[in-house]
Amino acid sequence: MFESLSDRLQNIFSGLRGKGRLTEDDINSAMREIRMALLEADVNFKVVKQFTADTKQRCLEAEVLESLTPAQNVVKIVLDELTKLLGENDAKLNTSSRIPNVIMLVGLQGSGKTTAAAKLAYLLKGKGHVPLLVAGDVYRPAAADQLETLGGEIGVKVFRGDGKDPVQIAKDGVRYAIDNLRDVVIVDTAGRLHVDEQMMDEAAAIKEAVKPEEILMVVDAMTGQDVVNVASAFAEKVEFDGVIMSKMDGDARGGGALSLKQVTGKPIKFISAGEKPDSLEEFHPDRMAKRILG
Binding residues for GTP: 107-114, 188-192, 246-249
**Residue 249 beta carbon to ligand GDP: minimum distance, rounded to whole angstroms:** 5
- Among the listed residues 4, 50, 109, 229, the single contact to ligand GDP using CB under 6 A: 109
Q: Of the two residues 84 and 284, which places its CB atom closer to ligand GDP in the complex?
A: 284
Q: Of the two residues 201 and 251, which places its CB atom closer to ligand GDP in the complex?
A: 251
According to the binding rule CB under 6 A, does residue 130 interact with ligand GDP? no
**Contact of 51 with 289, CB cutoff 8 Å:** no
According to the binding rule CB under 6 A, does residue 189 interact with ligand GDP? no
Beta strands at 242-246 and 268-272: parallel, antiparallel or unpaired: parallel
**Contact of 236 with 196, CB cutoff 8 Å:** no
Length of the chain: 294
Q: Which stretch binds ligand GDP (CB under 6 A): 103-111, 126-134, 153-161, 256-264?
A: 103-111
Q: Which stretch binds ligand GDP (CB under 6 A): 24-32, 42-50, 78-86, 104-112?
A: 104-112
**Contact of 100 with 181, CB cutoff 8 Å:** no
Q: For residues 174 and 168, what is the distance between their CA atoms, to the nearest angstrom?
A: 10
According to the binding rule CB under 6 A, does residue 269 interact with ligand GDP? no
According to the binding rule CB under 6 A, does residue 114 interact with ligand GDP? yes
Q: Of the two residues 128 and 194, which places its CB atom closer to ligand GDP in the complex?
A: 194
Question: How many chain residues bind ligand GDP (CB under 6 A)?
Answer: 18
Q: Which stretch binds ligand GDP (CB under 6 A): 49-57, 92-100, 230-238, 272-280?
A: 272-280
**Residue 58 beta carbon to ligand GDP: minimum distance, rounded to whole angstroms:** 34
- Among the listed residues 84, 247, 269, 284, the single contact to ligand GDP using CB under 6 A: 247
Q: For residues 111 and 235, what is the distance between their CA atoms, to the nearest angstrom?
A: 17
Helices (H), the chain: 3-17, 24-40, 45-59, 62-65, 70-85, 113-126, 141-154, 166-179, 197-210, 226-237, 255-264, 285-293
**Contact of 272 with 279, CB cutoff 8 Å:** yes
Name the 3-class secondary structure at 69.
coil
**Residue 136 beta carbon to ligand GDP: minimum distance, rounded to whole angstroms:** 11
Q: Which stretch binds ligand GDP (CB under 6 A): 25-33, 35-43, 102-110, 251-259?
A: 102-110
The H or E element that residue 104 is part of is: strand 101-106
Q: How far is CA 203 from CA 22, 136, 197, in A?
A: 54, 10, 10
CA geometry: angle at 182 spanning 181 and 185, to 5°? 150
According to the binding rule CB under 6 A, does residue 151 interact with ligand GDP? no
- Among the listed residues 87, 112, 212, 242, the single contact to ligand GDP using CB under 6 A: 112
Interface residue list for ligand GDP (CB under 6 A): 107, 109-115, 191, 246-247, 249-250, 272-275, 279
